[in-house]
Amino acid sequence: MDSSLTLVIFGITSNLAQIKLIPALYDISEKNLLPNTTHIIGVARAPQDESWIKNYFHQTLHLENKHHQHPISEDVLSKLNDKLNYMNGQLNDLNFFQELKQKITELGSTNTIFYLATYPDLYKDIFDNLKKVGLNEQTNGFTRVMIEKPIGEDLPSAQRLNKLLAEYFTEDQIYRLDHYLGKETLQNILTFRFGNGTFEPLINKDHIDHIQITASENFGIGKRGGYYDKVGALKDVGQNHQLQMLAFALMDPPSEFSNTAITKERTKILKNLQPIPEKVVFGQYEGYQQEENVEKDSKTDTFYALKTFINIERLKDVPIYIRAGKNLKETVTEISIIFKTPTNRLFQHIDCGKDPNVLIYRIQPNEGIVLKILTKKPGHTIDLDDSYMQFCYRSSNELPDAYEKLISDAIRGDQTFFNDAEEVEAQWKFIDPLVKTKTIPIVYSSKSWGPKEADDLIKEDSREWLEPSMMFCNI
Amino acid sequence: MDSSLTLVIFGITSNLAQIKLIPALYDISEKNLLPNTTHIIGVARAPQDESWIKNYFHQTLHLENKHHQHPISEDVLSKLNDKLNYMNGQLNDLNFFQELKQKITELGSTNTIFYLATYPDLYKDIFDNLKKVGLNEQTNGFTRVMIEKPIGEDLPSAQRLNKLLAEYFTEDQIYRLDHYLGKETLQNILTFRFGNGTFEPLINKDHIDHIQITASENFGIGKRGGYYDKVGALKDVGQNHQLQMLAFALMDPPSEFSNTAITKERTKILKNLQPIPEKVVFGQYEGYQQEENVEKDSKTDTFYALKTFINIERLKDVPIYIRAGKNLKETVTEISIIFKTPTNRLFQHIDCGKDPNVLIYRIQPNEGIVLKILTKKPGHTIDLDDSYMQFCYRSSNELPDAYEKLISDAIRGDQTFFNDAEEVEAQWKFIDPLVKTKTIPIVYSSKSWGPKEADDLIKEDSREWLEPSMMFCNI
């Protein structure tokens, strides 16, 4: 890339910047994916001297090395240092934005990206001020804005935010980031399904019995009570991550590899979700109300499970069971496609167990794809064994972090793995009615798989939740 | 099993008995799969004292431990010893059969199996003599006869042998043994295809581009020249092993797990082979004519490659390429199903290489099933990688030897994995016309994949032979 870039990060001292953005910038820099002339301007409130940001990046990268998992090269860091600038300012202060504009002009880049690592309630001030100084315009190059999920907290607020964004930017300038969309394991589903001729013929109601999506964590909310207690499991991971997973696993073949085509197909799945799911269960882990910054009589869901359908002909009447929660038995995110038992009668005299064939997209950990099959048990009789055909990433270290990929995509101008306004609103259209059905959540024990009612939800259909296996791709 | 058994092995000193039957009897004995009262009568020409056979088994098992691959337990051997009897005799000598009958009567078993580990030219004498003394009859129990492939050396001789057998035995008494039918890896194809719901939907002309069957050895004929020079590659492995492989991989779903149903479906595939294959190439490895016991101007094929079709609607116009030979680059036996490139256009801008999807049944070595797929190469671009989903047997040691399984099947009276007369004749009906087209074989270099003309045979169709990977299931 020849064109120059200024990347402005509002909130450079935020948790997000420390844990995700700074490591991602380091990795992008190491891989020479930044334009030759790149300037990074970190913005925060505290006045600091010129060299502060270099030390801050240095410290952050070494501190956060556990997220980063490979040694920091001083050479790469030094090159990254040369790009770093720091400005302090209040984001509701027009004067600051005038200084910012002057700084950007001095740096002389044709292209600008604004990354809003701030609370959403600051967005309007930032947009207003950017507009007042003319920084939202695209003149010679591009101007892009990156904001984080969640987009809104329900359909009306998401619509308001999208409308607000549209006042300042065109849709091609807006990068709504849900880091799940940047995950290799999710993006690989596209390749797996549409790059191969052997799986897609099975992804339909003729062959699929049902689908399960699990996103579980074996830990609680930690210090995130202030945020989490207002949000809960359904909005925290259901509205975004899990619906994205569903869309990747089940969307129709896009007509080409383009943002428009792929986002359109994802959105189509979301728009065709049965509006009010047949069943839903909310749970709260024992002791949640005693967590830091949580209301003492909190009714926030730390677990949910639901059953729904996608109303497209290909998937008609295929039940979809989704669950997510905190303080559960395992930390695992996966999509399981449970296939029908074969109709031929060759092995009907043998007990083949339940669910002989399951295709598992393991999003994390032990990233990979697993196909459960029956094979003949070696020996003198025709007995059958559960076996597993596995594709595993050699190690999760080789997988670029989602932020690294998505920031790089935004620099390249590729919106394929970002949400557009329509997609986000389709997600909320499904979630809002669910939220309205919410009653007092059922308390469940830590390290369980949630309340018994979540088991009943699927057992009523003579099915059961699959126990995620930690054996797969345990490299 | 309560009923008693006498197992008579004609040719107890044969190579087959030493390498296969005696180790198999040991294994069956170790697994307690012999009827409680079992007598084994080994028959050979040389007079020996009573204890000779015990020493012979002992020595053979220790010598052949390399085939056998697990420690010999003296305890098991001692129990096996108690069952052993030896008789010397000429197989064309009626007196000997009278003695044999007397011996069997003395031993008092209700059931008898005659295993003919002899040259086929002795069969008629044996059958005649068995009949003359009434040993072919089934009175209280069963009387079964086991003979080895090849059944005949062409269609007329196979028909003659089947007719001969029918004069003495009913079809349910006759166990025509092709040890390939006893291989776990071949039998597992049934489970893989019909026990699962995820593969069979693909085994048809809509999804398959073509099929390849390879049976290659990286060594020459060794000391087998006397036999091999009369037979050649096509008759040695093509007529039997490779056609069995083809039948397992492509047969229609049998209506139930029974000998009748499964053998019928295998035979249907063989009967529907295009009678005169489109193309065939014969080869002979350089230096073959100098091998021991080979004619100096031998025209015997040590390699062949052919293209054919199966004329059933499900597989209409799906080309089948078969090759086998000696002194080739690798020792490997496998069936590869090469699927069509997917029709959707998502990845058409990317070079996906040839044959993105291949299902490989690896019969030996590194036994397993492998599905070649395309996955996304981890990183910032949408590049694709060949990847492999594998089901591997943990080690080939855990797989019972084919003879062990088949002898045990014969004792249980299960003919599923034996050839019936019709199946063998169907094989010859396909092979005979091919043999008639045979010209002087093309000389090829050792450690190659055969003559260039074999490559051309498939290249003319814009395809190529897959290089068998020794990486799969290399445990």
- Per-residue pLDDT tens digits of chain B, which is 475 residues long: 457 999 999 999 999 999 999 999 999 999 999 998 999 999 999 999 888 999 999 999 988 665 556 788 999 999 999 999 999 999 999 999 999 999 999 999 889 999 999 999 999 999 999 999 999 998 789 999 999 988 999 999 999 999 999 999 999 999 999 999 999 999 999 999 999 999 999 999 999 999 999 999 999 999 999 999 999 999 999 999 999 999 999 999 999 889 999 999 999 999 999 977 778 999 999 999 999 999 999 999 999 999 999 999 999 999 999 999 999 999 999 999 999 998 777 887 777 777 789 999 999 998 999 999 999 888 888 888 889 999 988 765 678 889 999 999 999 999 999 999 999 999 999 999 999 988 899 999 999 999 999 999 999 999 999 999 888 888 7
Predicted pLDDT of residue B45:
95
Predicted pLDDT of residue B1:
45
Closest CA to B362 of B244, B215, B239, B195: B215
CB A190 within 8 A of CB B346: yes
Here the tokens at position A280 are 């839903």
Instruction: Determine contact: A122 vs chain B, CB below 8 A.
Output: no
- Scanning A29-48 for CB atoms below 8 A from B yields 31, 33
User: What would you measure as the largest C-alpha separation in chain B, in angstroms?
Assistant: 84
Here the tokens at position B339 are 């699927």
Instruction: Determine contact: B201 vs chain A, CB below 8 A.
Output: yes
R_g (Cα) of chain B, nearest Å: 24
**Cβ contact B191–A398 (<8 Å):** no
Q: Give the integer Cα–Cα distance in Å for B273 and B427.
A: 9
Instruction: Please give the distance of CA A281 from its chain centroid, rounded to a whole number.
Output: 23
Whether the bond between B150 and the residue before it is cis, its omega within 30 degrees of 0, is yes
Instruction: Determine contact: A405 vs chain B, CB below 8 A.
Output: yes
Reported as type and span, the H/E element at residue A74 is helix A74-81
The interface pTM score, or ipTM, of the predicted complex is: 0.90
**Cβ contact A349–B257 (<8 Å):** yes
SS3 of residue A187 by DSSP:
helix
Smallest Cβ–Cβ distance between A202 and the set B201, B391, B400 belongs to B201
Q: Give the integer Cα–Cα distance in Å for B146 and B113.
A: 7
CB A24 within 8 A of CB A404: yes
Give the A:B interface size as CB pairs under 8 Å: 177
Cα→Cα distances B449→A444, B324, B332, B455, Å: 64, 9, 12, 8
Predicted pLDDT of residue B66:
57
Closest CA to A201 of B232, B24, B207, B181: B207
pTM of the shown model: 0.93
CB B419 within 8 A of CB B148: no
- Per-residue pLDDT tens digits of chain A, which is 475 residues long: 457 999 999 999 999 999 999 999 999 999 999 998 999 999 999 999 888 999 999 999 988 665 556 788 999 999 999 999 999 999 999 999 999 999 999 999 889 999 999 999 999 999 999 999 999 998 789 999 999 988 999 999 999 999 999 999 999 999 999 999 999 999 999 999 999 999 999 999 999 999 999 999 999 999 999 999 999 999 999 999 999 999 999 999 999 989 999 999 999 999 999 977 778 999 999 999 999 999 999 999 999 999 999 999 999 999 999 999 999 999 999 999 999 998 777 787 777 777 789 999 999 998 999 999 999 888 888 888 889 999 988 765 678 889 999 999 999 999 999 999 999 999 999 999 999 988 899 999 999 999 999 999 999 999 999 999 888 888 7
Instruction: Determine contact: B345 vs chain A, CB below 8 A.
Output: yes
Instruction: Please give the distance of CA A387 from its chain centroid, rounded to a whole number.
Output: 30
**Catalytic entry in A39, A68, A210, A241:** A241
With the C-alpha atoms ordered A282, A287, A292, A295, is the resulting torsion angle positive or negative? Answer: positive
